[in-house]
């Protein structure tokens, strides 16, 4: 009788106990390609263009992604998030347009360290630390292998360094990493299967490119689209189903032309619409990335009907769009009044103290977390720099943002 009473009491307590909390630790990191490519895309003539290409490659080489990959991997290893959204995951390759010559052309000491695969180096650095992570979904964005710049008949960016002609190719990707214990169950979201419904009309690898993108005109009247995109995975962590989406929106540059901020605003509107139309209610939606928009971005009023809806009254910046659509910014649930600035260090990554002064790297959740724990900006302390300690390079011009989201 005593045994039966105890079992009854136990079952009653289980039935009335609150549901166990479920946690997921996530991170977003813009890895930084290593240079500003704007001088290339705005060059006025072939000579200026060539100078801009060589200077950009020199800066990428000087910014030593091999060492920075190790520093970025350490940030992940100290945290061990379940999922990581990476932006600006570049591949730089080079081919000589003449007979290969030691220390000339692609092998010129000024630029040869620029040519590598940033994803490969990141995964190698994690493996060297004994951490098991895998790339589970990728979207290919900006890609120079899709263009041909006359008079060179091969795809890529032709340039000449110290009298030696060569051809560079530059590919930008956004990538989702998953920790080894959940990577096997992470499945890329099949956005492209929804093309008949107007979703993912520009599919790319596992993800999609945005329909509205910036573009540049290179010498020879060659058009180059500055593609941006989004990619997602479905994954189960501690018996809770998630859809995790990673994106990188266009930069908002100060301009008298309202179309400059409109591009990134249109991209965020597309993403919000796609996710609202395609995310099953059974999955908890998390969106991370570099949205190039902060809580301080103002609404930009325009004369009525200057732009199509939802911008017929003015341009709504991406951050405001997400909050207005019902998303929760995880950082806002962090205890204390820490600004959480994430960007940006100097282009050469050599500034001594962090110069972050805006918060444009975010973690959004559609389901409101019951709690947010250990929300941090990582990689923004002098001690996070590459060797020599405190005097090397910042891991990136952006800080990582990480948070543990708890759902009841």
DSSP output for 46-93: HHHHHHHHHHHHHHHHHT-HHHHHHHHHHHHHHH--SEEEEE---EEE
Cα 400 to Cα 356: distance, rounded to the nearest angstrom: 12
**Is the predicted pLDDT of residue 2 greater than 50, yes or no?**
no
Please state whether the peptide bond connecting residue 46 to the residue before it is cis, i.e. omega within 30 degrees of 0.
no
Please tell me the least confidently modeled range out of 30-44, 55-69, 237-251.
30-44
Q: Is 165 a member of any domain?
A: yes
At 8 the pLDDT is: 42
Q: Is 71 a member of any domain?
A: yes
Task: Give residue 111's domain range.
Answer: 26-407
Q: Is 180 a member of any domain?
A: yes
Q: What's the token pair of residue 121?
A: 């180096």
**CA 44 vs CA 47, 53, 157: distances in Å:** 8, 13, 15
Domains contained in the chain, number: 1
Cα 84 to Cα 34: distance, rounded to the nearest angstrom: 20
Using left for φ > 0, alpha for ψ between -120 and 50, and beta otherwise, residue 194 falls in alpha
Percent of the chain with pLDDT over 70: 93
Q: Is 36 helix (H, G, I), strand (E, B) or coil?
A: coil
**Is the predicted pLDDT of residue 261 greater than 80, yes or no?**
yes
For residues 213 and 225, the answer to whether their CB atoms sit within 8 Å is yes
Tell me the average pLDDT across 302-330: 93
Q: Is 99 a member of any domain?
A: yes
**Is the predicted pLDDT of residue 363 greater than 80, yes or no?**
yes
Q: Is 13 a member of any domain?
A: no
Identify the band that residue 109 occupies on the pLDDT scale cut at 50, 70 and 90.
Answer: very high
Q: pTM here? A: 0.93
**Is the predicted pLDDT of residue 256 greater than 70, yes or no?**
no
At 14 the pLDDT is: 39
In terms of Cα–Cα distance, which of 216, 357, 225, 359 is closest to 292? 359
Quick: pLDDT tens for 187-236: 999 999 999 999 999 999 999 999 999 998 998 899 999 999 999 999 99
Cα 60 to Cα 33: distance, rounded to the nearest angstrom: 7
Q: What's the token pair of residue 316?
A: 């709504």
At 19 the pLDDT is: 60
**Is the predicted pLDDT of residue 12 greater than 50, yes or no?**
no
**Is the predicted pLDDT of residue 258 greater than 80, yes or no?**
no
What's the CATH number where 389 sits? 3.60.10.10
Quick: pLDDT tens for 129-168: 999 999 999 999 999 999 999 999 999 999 999 999 999 9
Q: Is 7 a member of any domain?
A: no
Cα 67 to Cα 188: distance, rounded to the nearest angstrom: 30
Cα 81 to Cα 378: distance, rounded to the nearest angstrom: 13
For residues 43 and 99, the answer to whether their CB atoms sit within 8 Å is no
Quick: pLDDT tens for 364-404: 999 999 999 999 999 999 999 998 876 899 999 999 999 99
Q: Is 4 a member of any domain?
A: no
Percent of the chain with pLDDT over 90: 84
At 271 the pLDDT is: 98
Q: Is 157 a member of any domain?
A: yes
């Amino acid at each position: 009788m005593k045994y039966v009473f105890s079992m009854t009491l136990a079952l009653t307590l289980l039935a009335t106990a609150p549901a166990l909390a479920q946690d997921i630790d996530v991170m977003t990191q813009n890895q930084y390609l290593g240079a500003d490519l704007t001088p290339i895309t705005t060059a006025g003539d072939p000579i200026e263009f060539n100078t801009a290409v060589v200077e950009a490659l020199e800066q990428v080489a000087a910014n030593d992604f091999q060492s920075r990959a190790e520093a970025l991997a350490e940030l992940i290893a100290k945290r061990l998030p379940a999922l990581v959204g990476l932006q600006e995951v570049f591949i730089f390759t080079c081919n000589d347009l003449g007979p290969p010559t030691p220390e000339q052309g692609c092998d010129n000491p000024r630029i040869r360290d620029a040519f590598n695969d940033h994803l490969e180096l990141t995964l190698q650095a994690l493996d060297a630390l004994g951490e098991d992570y895998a790339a589970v979904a990728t979207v290919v964005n900006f890609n120079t292998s899709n263009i041909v710049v006359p008079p060179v008949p091969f795809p890529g960016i032709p340039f000449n360094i110290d009298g030696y002609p060569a051809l560079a190719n530059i590919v930008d990707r956004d990538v989702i990493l998953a920790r080894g214990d959940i990577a096997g169950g992470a499945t890329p979201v099949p956005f492209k299967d929804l093309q008949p419904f107007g979703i993912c009309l520009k599919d790319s690898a596992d993800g999609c490119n945005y329909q509205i993108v910036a573009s540049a005109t290179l010498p020879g009247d060659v058009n180059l689209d500055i593609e941006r995109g989004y990619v997602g995975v479905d994954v189960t962590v501690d018996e809770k189903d998630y859809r995790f989406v990673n994106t990188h929106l266009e930069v908002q540059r100060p301009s008298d032309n309202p179309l400059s901020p409109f591009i990134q605003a249109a991209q965020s509107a597309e993403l919000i619409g796609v996710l609202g139309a395609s995310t099953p209610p059974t999955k908890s939606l998390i969106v991370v990335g570099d949205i190039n928009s902060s809580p301080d971005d103002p609404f930009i009023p325009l004369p009525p009907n200057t732009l199509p809806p939802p911008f017929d009254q003015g341009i709504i910046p991406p951050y405001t769009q997400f909050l207005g659509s019902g998303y929760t910014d995880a950082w806002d649930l962090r205890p204390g009044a820490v600004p959480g600035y994430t960007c940006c260090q100097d282009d050469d990554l050599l500034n001594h103290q962090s110069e972050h002064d805006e918060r444009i790297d975010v973690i959004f959740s559609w389901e409101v977390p019951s709690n947010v724990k250990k929300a941090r900006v990582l990689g923004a302390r002098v001690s996070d720099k590459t060797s020599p300690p405190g005097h090397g390079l910042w891991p990136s011009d952006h800080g990582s943002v990480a948070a543990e989201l708890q759902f009841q």
